[in-house]
């Protein structure tokens, strides 16, 4: 039989049940035995006492005849009686001779005796010394045999029931479990064979398998999304790289065919270098994304002032905004410390401002705002450009996706994907909201309470330490 966890579990429970049963029965058996023995010894003592009294009162002959009468009366022979003289010669009773294993000394003994007409018996005997006579009274243990037998039968039955029930429950559980596991296995092998649409069956209840199935389904959703993404990306890479590569190729081929004047050749070569740079740029963006997606940059997390970072980014884009006569505004309520990767966040924010500059109309407005919310910092970049359709919102963060509005503008279509990847790395979501008119992109970060608090209690050194950390990277080259 296949190894089955359900079956092993059931067998384990059976073993546990058996142990419990033994632990329960053993002391019971012991206590029972002790009680019976004590009671019997008492009965035998009372018997012996009665016979002794008779002997004292009426003499040996009276005792002899009393014993004979008693022996003659009993049918089953459960009582054992024997009277002997000092030389152990039997005078009366139902034993042929004094049992060899019983000493001629007052006391209780547990022996096997030969009773006339009734065969061998296990018996408890009590010996009393009456002057020149020895008296032995006993009771056959077989009297209690049925009770003992019933006890043992009961115990055996309990063990049997336990074993069978355990095995049955084990087998049934195994069957039920196997059928569910099998359905999961079939689904998974369908997925392995490439059909990512399949999902594990789930029920309404919340048992372990269901919870697991739901988690796995979540995993599958993510995988499907990623695979889909990869497929899209490969297609888009093919498309976006092919364009500059095709230009490059035709440029070079034309040069080789036409062999124009030196001056013209140089111009063409410069153009070719620009084409190559475009390809390299796309590759760099992709590598950066892959790096962020892999979560490797989490090591770069330090506390830093996001307000300062945003102010710098705004200042960086100020002249570019002026060129388009765009009013680039910055709103913030002073320093706001967050924990994150300042290099990546600067890049993300710069991408957002860059995008806003592309889409905001001439003489438009862009507002970059840093807001402190309950335990989090909200970074938003809002423009008054054409905005994004609700339908298109999910698509714009896809790699290489370029909305219709962006056709003819420079860029490789990776900007928002990078922002999204950075947001994800920081455990935050990227929200695209309507600015009526325009687009408002919101990034939420967790506020770094510890460094904020440290700054308040000890303003100077803590602030220095917090600034020193992010700038280590920056100051390296």
Partner 1 sequence: MKILLVEDNERVTQFVIKGLQEAGHTVDHAGNGRDGMFLAASEPYDVIIMDRMLPGDIDGLAIIEVLRKAGKRTPILILSALSEVDDRIRGLRSGGDDYLTKPFAFGELLARIDALHRRAEGINHETPLVVGDLHMDTLTRKVTRGDRPITLQPREFKLLEYLMRHAGQVVTRTMLLENVWDYHFDPQTNVVDVHISKLRQKIDAEFERPLLRTVRNAGYTVTASD
Say whether residue 270 binds partner 1 (CB under 8 A): yes
Say whether residue 316 binds partner 1 (CB under 8 A): yes
Among 1, 73, 204, 323, binds partner 1 (CB under 8 A): 323
Omega within 30 of 0 (cis) for the link into 437? yes
Considering only 98-106, 203-211, 343-351, 451-459, which stretch makes contact with partner 1 by CB under 8 A? 343-351
Q: Are 98 and 138 in contact (CB under 8 A)?
A: no
- Separation of alpha carbons 193 and 311, rounded Å: 51
61 vs 315, beta carbon nearer partner 1: 315
CB of 344 to partner 1, least distance (A): 8
Say whether residue 28 binds partner 1 (CB under 8 A): no
Among 75, 410, 436, 457, binds partner 1 (CB under 8 A): 410
H or E segment to which residue 61 belongs:
helix 5-73
119 vs 319, beta carbon nearer partner 1: 319
Say whether residue 229 binds partner 1 (CB under 8 A): no
Tokens, residue 73: 């009366």
446 vs 467, beta carbon nearer partner 1: 467
CB of 304 to partner 1, least distance (A): 12
Integer CA distances (angstroms), 349 to 311, 369, 379, 394, 420, in order:
10, 11, 9, 19, 11
DSSP 171-206: HHHHHHHHHHHHHHHHHHHHHHTT-TT------SS-
Among 62, 296, 429, 468, binds partner 1 (CB under 8 A): 296
Say whether residue 315 binds partner 1 (CB under 8 A): yes
Among 48, 162, 346, 462, binds partner 1 (CB under 8 A): 346
Considering only 7-15, 82-90, 131-139, 280-288, which stretch makes contact with partner 1 by CB under 8 A? 280-288
User: Any idea what DSSP says for residue 253?
Assistant: H
- Separation of alpha carbons 123 and 95, rounded Å: 12
CA dihedral sign, ordered 77, 79, 85, 91 = negative
Say whether residue 297 binds partner 1 (CB under 8 A): yes
- Separation of alpha carbons 149 and 399, rounded Å: 82
Largest CA distance in the chain: 158
Q: N- to C-terminal Cα distance for the chain?
A: 66
CB of 411 to partner 1, least distance (A): 6
Q: Could you say which residues in the range 373-392 bind partner 1, by CB under 8 A?
A: none
133 vs 316, beta carbon nearer partner 1: 316
Integer CA distances (angstroms), 32 to 149, 151, 158, in order:
13, 11, 19
CB of 236 to partner 1, least distance (A): 17
Say whether residue 474 binds partner 1 (CB under 8 A): yes
- Separation of alpha carbons 324 and 318, rounded Å: 10
Considering only 120-128, 136-144, 308-316, 447-455, which stretch makes contact with partner 1 by CB under 8 A? 308-316
- Separation of alpha carbons 310 and 317, rounded Å: 11
Helices (H), 294-339: 306-323
Among 72, 194, 319, 408, binds partner 1 (CB under 8 A): 319
- Separation of alpha carbons 74 and 62, rounded Å: 19
Say whether residue 468 binds partner 1 (CB under 8 A): no
Say whether residue 273 binds partner 1 (CB under 8 A): yes
H or E segment to which residue 15 belongs:
helix 5-73
Say whether residue 444 binds partner 1 (CB under 8 A): no
- Separation of alpha carbons 439 and 405, rounded Å: 13
Considering only 189-197, 254-262, 294-302, 390-398, which stretch makes contact with partner 1 by CB under 8 A? 294-302
Among 268, 354, 392, 431, binds partner 1 (CB under 8 A): 354
DSSP 381-427: EEE-SS---HHHHHHHTSTT---GGGTTSSS-S-HHHHHHHHHHHTT
Say whether residue 408 binds partner 1 (CB under 8 A): no
CB of 348 to partner 1, least distance (A): 10
Among 281, 393, 395, 433, binds partner 1 (CB under 8 A): 281
């Amino acid at each position: 039989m296949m190894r089955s966890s359900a079956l092993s579990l059931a067998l384990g429970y059976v073993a546990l049940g058996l142990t419990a049963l033994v632990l329960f029965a053993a002391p019971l058996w012991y206590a029972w035995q002790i009680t019976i023995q004590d009671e019997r010894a008492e009965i035998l003592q009372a018997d012996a006492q009665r016979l002794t009294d008779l002997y004292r009162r009426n003499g040996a002959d009276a005792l002899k005849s009393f014993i004979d009468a008693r022996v003659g009366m009993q049918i089953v022979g459960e009582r054992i009686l024997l009277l002997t003289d000092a030389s152990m010669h039997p005078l009366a009773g139902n034993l042929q001779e004094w049992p060899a294993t019983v000493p001629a000394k007052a006391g209780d003994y547990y022996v096997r005796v030969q009773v006339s007409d009734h065969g061998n018996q296990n018996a408890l005997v009590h010996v009393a010394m009456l002057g020149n006579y020895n008296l032995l009274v006993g009771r056959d243990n077989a009297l209690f045999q049925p009770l003992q037998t019933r006890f043992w039968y009961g115990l055996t039955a309990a063990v049997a029931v336990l074993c069978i029930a355990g095995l049955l429950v084990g087998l049934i559980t195994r069957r039920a479990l196997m059928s569910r596991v099998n359905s999961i296995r079939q689904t998974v092998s369908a997925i392995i064979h490439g059909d990512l649409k399949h999902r594990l069956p789930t029920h309404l209840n919340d048992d372990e398998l269901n919870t697991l199935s739901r988690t796995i389904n979540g995993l599958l959703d993510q995988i499907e999304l990623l695979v889909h993404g990869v497929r899209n990306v490969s297609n888009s890479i093919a498309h976006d790289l092919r364009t500059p590569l095709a230009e490059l190729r035709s440029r070079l081929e034309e040069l080789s065919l036409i062999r124009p004047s030196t001056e013209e050749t140089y111009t063409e070569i410069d153009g070719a270098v620009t084409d190559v740079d475009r390809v390299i740029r796309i590759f760099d963006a992709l590598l950066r994304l892959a790096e962020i997606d892999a979560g490797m940059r989490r090591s770069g997390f330090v506390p830093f002032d996001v307000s300062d970072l945003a102010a710098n980014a705004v200042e960086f884009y100020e002249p570019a905004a002026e060129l388009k006569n765009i009013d680039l505004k910055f709103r913030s309520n002073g320093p706001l410390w967050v924990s994150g990767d300042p290099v990546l966040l600067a890049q993300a924010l710069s991408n957002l401002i860059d995008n806003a500059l592309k889409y905001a109309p001439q003489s438009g407005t862009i507002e970059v705002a840093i807001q402190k919310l309950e335990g989090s910092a909200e970074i938003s970049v809002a423009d008054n450009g054409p905005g994004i359709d609700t339908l298109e919102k999910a698509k714009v963060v896809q790699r290489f996706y370029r909305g219709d509005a962006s056709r003819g503008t420079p860029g490789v279509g990776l900007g928002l994907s990078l922002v999204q990847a950075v947001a994800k790395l920081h455990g935050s979501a990227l929200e695209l909201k309507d600015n009526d008119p325009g687009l408002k992109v919101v990034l939420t970060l967790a506020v770094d309470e510890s460094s904020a608090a440290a700054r308040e209690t000890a303003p100077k050194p803590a602030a220095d330490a917090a600034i020193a950390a992010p700038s280590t990277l920056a100051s390296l080259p």
